[in-house]
Amino acid sequence: MTADDEIMAIALEEARLAAAAGEVPAGCVIVDIPSGEILARAHNRTETLHRPTAHAEILAIEEAARRRGNWRIVDSALYVTKEPCPMCAGAIILARCSRVVWGVADPKRGGASVFDMFAHPGVNHHPAVQGGVMEKQCLEVLQTFFKTRRKSK
């Protein structure tokens, strides 16, 4: 198991907490790159908090910024089970995360795969990106959640 897999496994734990709460199962972990310390972990809470911005990435970025005492969270790596949406990609760019790692791509709303936000020449920060880490496990959590949801309706 690689270091990326170990952190993504923690993000998957968060995603499962989201699913158990009836939230779309996305989980996020932010790590300080030099020390390897976890700065924040979160899962989607849009339904619970009645906030359209309460995505796992946004909640984790806010917590990491609080812990750092600075809205810039440079030298950090953000791990998320599903590719960030455009809102979250924008927040990641603004927060200056150094690296973004996701499990499963979002071919409908992906901030990278659809909108190319992380590489766009008009933005002032370009984090390193990597997709496909523990992709099978991340996809399984999402598919199970939506299959269960469809059956209950």
Residue of 14, 23, 57, 83 with catalytic role: 57
- Measure the CA–CA gap between 79 and 137, rounded to whole angstroms: 14
* Phi and psi torsions of 3, nearest 5°: -60, -40
Contact between 60 and 42 under an 8 Å Cβ cutoff? The reply is yes
Residue 36 in 3-state DSSP?
coil
140 is a catalytic site residue: no
Proportion of the chain in helix, strand, coil states, percent, rounded to 5: 40, 20, 40
Residues recognised as catalytic: 57
